[in-house]
Structure 1
Amino acid sequence: MDESTEPLVNALAPRLELLRALAEHRHVTRTAESLGVPQPTVTRWVAELGRTLGAPLVTRQGRGIRLTRAGQLLAEAATEALAVLEGGCRRAAEEVDPERGHVALGFLHVFGRSLVPDLLRRFRAEHPGVRFSLAQAAHIHIVAKLLTGELDLVLTAATPSGFPDRLHRVPILDQRLVVVLPEQHPLAGRAEIGVAELAEDDFVQLEPGFGLRLITDELCAAAGFTPRIAFEGQETETLRGLVSAGLGVSLLPPAERMRPPGVVEVELTPRLVRTVELVWAAGQRLPPAVRAFRDFTLRAAPAQA
């Protein structure tokens, strides 16, 4: 048992530990020594449990004892229950210790290539004992999990609408968007392109529910057209591959690594940025480890990407 959680387990379940120790040692004196209580206390506890059950838990066997069938069944149940209880106590202890806690973080797929790994690397250098659960999904899905408590924090780039009083949002960086074109596209040699100039093109876009899809649809609507969607995907790098194959154009953040062959990125005019936000549920007290990572992210995230 973890020394840090042993007092909590013992406070919650002394009789469970008694049954487990009896099954292990099969001797009252050794059981008492393992529990750190006097031998008469163990004898009294065993008798009390037997009276409550209506049948003895142990019988004499030489100089030791043997669990009865009923006692063995209770000991097996106690061992299983203690395993669950000890795990829960360990997790509870982690929640109140910022150096051993757990953070459930959700984010858009695009942030999994550099933003999130960089934040985690730098945070773990200061807090090596904190554990993370990571969830990558579309904007609507990670916000939904945040509202149900499955996630502690979310990194997203679309305004979480519909829950103005339930979410706390803080901008952490601005990310510019560019037009991604096949290199043979007639506009590929331009220094900048307006969205309206893409009205006759096929688009490759993220699926509905992704923040970037919402931004693209709104931009095209503002320019007076509905984009003709040829392909939909869940990853921006997949979209770049489709553009490289000449299957359409897209509006994306600049490539973080080397662009695929046959792809050109051109600046939008007017210049367009989307705001990346760190979001958490309003009105809830965050565990220490979650607060530590939230504060680190607000302090350490780059201003622009």
Structure 2
Amino acid sequence: MSATSPVAEIDPESWAAVLTPRLAQFAGVARHEHVTRAAGELMVPQSTLSRAMARLEADLGVSLFARRGRTVQLTPAGRRFLGSVEKALAAVEQAAEAVRADADPTTGKVAFGFLHTLGSETVPALIRTFRVDHPKVRFALVQNYGEAMLERLRAGELDLCLTSPVPDEPDLVARRLDEQRLRLVVPEDHRLARRKRIRLAEAADEPFITLEPGYGMRRISDALCAEAGFKPRIAFEGEEAETLRGLVAAGLGVALLPPPTVERPGVRELTVTAPRAVREIGLAWLDGHPDTPPVAAFKSFLLSRRGQLLA
């Protein structure tokens, strides 16, 4: 078996598409060094396999096999090609096993994103409860702010995410699960620190410490201040709620934040009576994206927790 035709004119970007269907056939012939036996293993007619190998050689423009009676032997070029082919086929096999394992109903994986403020207690408690009935399901957990998680949903890097505000976008499906009351956090020696309740307008002249633009909590905070009749004077911007609490404790401003996991010394947290200061927590996923069994089970579990998510 030899290649006598000139190198085929193939767009370099098309090599993978042209060669991939023949790689397993080539490896089979190389393993057996016999076309008939390889055809039997691969369950294709001998004539079909012979034509496929001849076409492979013609496309590459090199001889991969030398005939020795009824057997074939790899040429030096064939041996070099076989090493790369075996690595490529092994990589495909590993990839196939990985995606099959991730989709396994019992031991599969869920790529789950959530807000930083839900990471200390809410998400661990949810997963612990879910794993009572699904003890071997694995999780790839991602903490991020809302917009970043939605982009990772779109990129196929996440299956589900808990986010706020609840998105309303045509390529996503979102369901409201619960809400958190927001508090005005002030330093413990602040003029308002002895209060338990406050109208947000009473803090209009205070320097505000907020999350950076692009964070869902920042949009909510700005909207609440606007509803209260003022534009906040931003003193500091950060990326994480507990860091903002630390800045408040240092006397650098006030902040609108969800409740802390653990009460922090140095601050007082006031209930905001007007406007109604809450943030909704929702579950989002990519519209039309098929769920693996473990993802479907976890999605159903989360949706069943409506109104109890933050309990």
Give me the TM-score of the superposition, normalised by structure 1.
0.78
Aligned twin of 1:121: 128
Distance in 1 (CA, whole Å) between partners of 2:118 and 2:67 is: 63
Q: 1:128-183 deviations in whole A, cap 9, x for unaligned?
A: 4433333322222222332343322121121324x2x3322212222111111100
Distance in 1 (CA, whole Å) between partners of 2:309 and 2:100 is: 35
Please tell me whether the aligned partners of residues 113 and 144 of structure 2 are also in contact (alpha carbons under 8 angstroms): yes
Aligned partner letter, 1:223? A
Aligned twin of 2:65: 57
| Matched pairs, number | 282
Query: Which residue of the other structure, out of 135, 138, 145, is the alignment partner of 1:138?
Result: 145
Matched, 1:73 2:73: no
Match of 1:286, SS state, is coil
Please tell me whether the aligned partners of residues 152 and 280 of structure 1 are also in contact (alpha carbons under 8 angstroms): yes
Aligned twin of 1:110: 117
Instruction: State the identity as a percent.
Output: 43
Distance in 2 (CA, whole Å) between partners of 1:205 and 1:276 is: 19
Match of 1:266, SS state, is strand
Query: Which residue of the other structure, out of 285, 301, 306, is the alignment partner of 1:296?
Result: 301
Distance in 1 (CA, whole Å) between partners of 2:173 and 2:120 is: 25
Query: Which residue of the other structure, out of 177, 181, 184, is the alignment partner of 1:179?
Result: 184
Aligned partner letter, 2:110? V
Q: 1:256 to 1:70 in 2, by over 3 A?
A: same
How many Å apart are 1:304 and its aligned residue? Answer: 4.0
Q: 1:102-131 deviations in whole A, cap 9, x for unaligned?
A: 322222221222222222333344334433
Matched, 1:262 2:266: yes
Match of 1:269, SS state, is strand
Matched, 1:285 2:293: no
Aligned twin of 2:226: 221
Structure 2 unaligned blocks of 5 or more: 1-19
Matched, 1:99 2:106: yes
Query: Which residue of the other structure, out of 258, 274, 279, is the alignment partner of 1:253?
Result: 258
Aligned twin of 2:166: 159
Aligned partner letter, 2:166? T
Give me the TM-score of the superposition, normalised by structure 2.
0.77
Aligned partner letter, 2:269? E
Q: 1:22 to 1:124 in 2, by over 3 A?
A: farther
Structure 1 unaligned blocks of 5 or more: 1-12
Q: CA RMSD in A?
A: 3.3
How many Å apart are 1:241 and its aligned residue? Answer: 0.6
How many Å apart are 1:68 and its aligned residue? Answer: 2.6
Match of 2:202, SS state, is helix
Distance in 2 (CA, whole Å) between partners of 1:196 and 1:263 is: 20
Please tell me whether the aligned partners of residues 122 and 310 of structure 2 are also in contact (alpha carbons under 8 angstroms): no
Please tell me whether the aligned partners of residues 139 and 210 of structure 1 are also in contact (alpha carbons under 8 angstroms): yes
How many Å apart are 1:226 and its aligned residue? Answer: 0.7
Distance in 2 (CA, whole Å) between partners of 1:294 and 1:14 is: 37
Q: 1:16 to 1:130 in 2, by over 3 A?
A: farther
1:25-40 paired onto structure 2 within 5 Å:
none
Q: 1:99 to 1:263 in 2, by over 3 A?
A: same
Q: 1:17 to 1:125 in 2, by over 3 A?
A: farther
Query: Which residue of the other structure, out of 93, 98, 103, is the alignment partner of 1:86?
Result: 93
Deviating more after overlay: 226-235 vs 286-295: 286-295
Aligned partner letter, 1:146? L
